[in-house]
Amino acid sequence: MDAVLSRVYPAFSISISYSNISTCENSLSQPIRPPLMARTYMHLLRATNSVGGDKIYPKHLKFAKRNREPQSRNSHPRKGSLNLPRKTDAVNLEVSPHRAVSAVRLMRIELGGAFADLLNEKGKGSGNNEMGYVERTLGFRTRDLDDRDLRLVTDIVGGTIRWRRYLDHLIMSLCHEENMFRGMEPLLLQILRIGFYEIVKLEMPPYAVVDENVRLAKAALRPGAGNLVNGILRKLVLLKEKNSLPLPKLEGNDRAQARVLAILYSHPVWMVRRWTKYLGQEEAIRLMMWNNSNPSFSLRANRRKGFTRDDLMMRLKTLKVPHEPSLHLDDFVRIGTGMQIVIQAGLLKEGLCSVQDESAGLVVSLVDPHPGETIIDCCAAPGGKTLFMASLLSQKGMVSAIDVNNGRLRILKETAKLQGVDDVITFIHADLRIFSEKNPVKSDKVLLDAPCSGLGVLSKRPDLRWNKKLEDMEQLKNLQDDLLNAAALLVKPGGVLVYSTCSIDPEENEKRVAAFLLSHPDFRIEPADGYVPPDFITESGFYFSNPLKHSLDGSFAARLVRS
């Protein structure tokens, strides 16, 4: 955020004459020039991050059915969704590069099913790759991205996704007819969302925002689209200056208030109602505010390479990256900004450290790996916990990393080699439910970091809130039960089974453990005392990190011992 607000924009004067909204509405009916059509759309579909042909799904979706299937060529979420015009100019230096890249990223996320966090990782330091996507999608290139542009892309894309429902309410309110909003081309809508976010949330110089987004709309679509953007954004500027944005009032019954809160804090209505039920309205609002804030990140020093936390802090000090040591874990350092600097300095590429939230590190503390032990990580990829456990074995013992996604498992294998822990990891491509039935192997410790809703990581995964539905929760509960039953088969007598999620929902956490214990009387809860700090231990002896209390990702873990 500081990087955005500190950027100095020149004072642009609007070169396009002001036209009212009704005039701009007519531009939607203008004929569209020959579209990129199938080439562009298939490019967006291919942008769903993949390695070796395998789609890369985040931890909480590994076994779950995807909610949003890529749209077919004859089934589009919005009227005219593929009407992206062909451009003849190879380079357009008048279009703001960070806005062009942001618009294309948002299209890839919404239409192509790409994941925002993976795009951010791929985008940092890869400006040429980003501009290639712009050229293939919009038909032209802009000037190359610099580091400041990439930071802006990350901020704008993440913020626009977080505030999508809020922004869409404002956009629809400034359209004369709801059908105009409902039938708007996706690219045009993304450009408007970017402009609204920059003006309302980032408080960038408003008329510079108007001017640059008008240029993008004209270059990427047609002159009439630029006129529409000009009229709507100018009206937004006037309303914001008068402090009279068209926002709903919090009134009515519980359902009505949930709908209003869903707009004001930009979350799905079902999440608002669920959190209000479990936490109360005040805590639910605080949680949504946390989810909408800029996330902080933690780095874990890789002790396997002899790189200590002190070494990491010294390097961060040299790089002038603000940081502080973790209060809970010896190997961890927390940073608020400067992740791109860390990446460009090569600390991750050299395997000296890795990005890992402290909440995930505390789950490993609950597993409590020791040299000489055999450990099974049942749903290993992307592998943060696998790598941390392996680094604690001191080259004695073995971690078996099982995952159903072969592409993600290959990435884990490459990262393990980079971090120097591949000699104590065995990689197994399998569905845990089938593997446990066919392999009678028993291990000292088994970690099931189960696929879940991810409701504890919404600050880092802004797109996740829009990809989940209430009905998914029931499917996930059944899956979690099946995986727990399968993982239990791999635990030797006297061994330990740790069940964890990155969710804050009791249905996925305490209630899953309770259901498991009813059908597995040979397991009992071992309290988390002595494994994690007391502040993280619940009354039932479970580990739980609360985003509002601990300023970490939300996560849960139970340590279960077999008789």
195 assigned binding-site residue: no
CATH architecture of the region 97-242? Orthogonal Bundle (1.10)
pLDDT above 90: percentage of residues in the chain: 73
Instruction: List, for residues 205-256, the tens digit of each pLDDT value.
Output: 999 999 999 999 999 999 999 999 999 999 999 999 999 999 999 999 999 9
pLDDT at 263 over 60: yes
- The reported pLDDT for the residue numbered 361 is 98
- Radius of gyration of the chain, Cα coordinates, nearest whole angstrom: 25
Contact predicate 509/448, CB 8 Å: no
Both structure tokens of 162: 């977080």
Instruction: List, for residues 438-485, the tens digit of each pLDDT value.
Output: 998 899 999 999 999 999 999 999 999 999 999 999 999 999 999 999
Instruction: Tell me the pLDDT band of 120, cut-offs 50, 70 and 90.
Output: low
Active site residue ranges: 502
- The reported pLDDT for the residue numbered 115 is 63
CATH architecture of the region 295-355? 2-Layer Sandwich (3.30)
Contact predicate 97/143, CB 8 Å: yes
User: Comparing C-alpha atoms, which of 313, 267, 255, 317 is closest to residue 292?
Assistant: 267
Both structure tokens of 156: 């704008």
The three-state secondary structure class of 367 is: helix
431 assigned binding-site residue: yes
422 assigned binding-site residue: no
Pick the more confident residue, 558 or 115: 558
Q: Which of 131-145, 162-176, 419-433, 440-454 has the lowest average pLDDT?
A: 131-145
The Cα 503–Cα 479 span in angstroms is 15
- The reported pLDDT for the residue numbered 119 is 59
Instruction: Tell me the pLDDT band of 5, cut-offs 50, 70 and 90.
Output: very low
Instruction: Tell me the pLDDT band of 117, cut-offs 50, 70 and 90.
Output: low
pLDDT above 70: percentage of residues in the chain: 81
Task: Select from 3.40.50.150, 1.10.150.20, 3.40.50.720, 3.50.50.60 the CATH code of 357-562.
Answer: 3.40.50.150
- The reported pLDDT for the residue numbered 114 is 65
383 assigned binding-site residue: yes
80 assigned binding-site residue: no
379 assigned binding-site residue: yes
Half-sphere exposure in the Cβ direction for 245 (13 Å, CA)? 20
Instruction: Tell me the pLDDT band of 61, cut-offs 50, 70 and 90.
Output: very low
pLDDT at 63 over 70: no
Both structure tokens of 24: 């701009």
Please list, residue by residue across 482-494, b when 16 or more beta carbons sit within 10 angstroms of its beta carbon and e when fewer do: ebbebbbbbbeee
90 assigned binding-site residue: no
The three-state secondary structure class of 46 is: helix
Torsion angle of the four alpha carbons 119, 121, 125, 130, in this order, in degrees rounded to the nearest 10: -10
- The reported pLDDT for the residue numbered 541 is 98
The count of other CB atoms within 10 Å of the CB of residue 216 is 28
Tell me the domain boundaries of the chain: 97-242, 254-291, 295-355, 357-562
Task: Using alpha carbons only, give the angle 187, 192, 196 rounded to the nearest 5 degrees.
Answer: 150
Instruction: Tell me the pLDDT band of 106, cut-offs 50, 70 and 90.
Output: very high
- The reported pLDDT for the residue numbered 112 is 73
Q: Which of 42-51, 93-102, 414-423, 534-543 has the lowest average pLDDT?
A: 42-51
pLDDT at 127 over 70: no
Instruction: Tell me the pLDDT band of 47, cut-offs 50, 70 and 90.
Output: very low
Both structure tokens of 127: 């400006």
403 assigned binding-site residue: yes
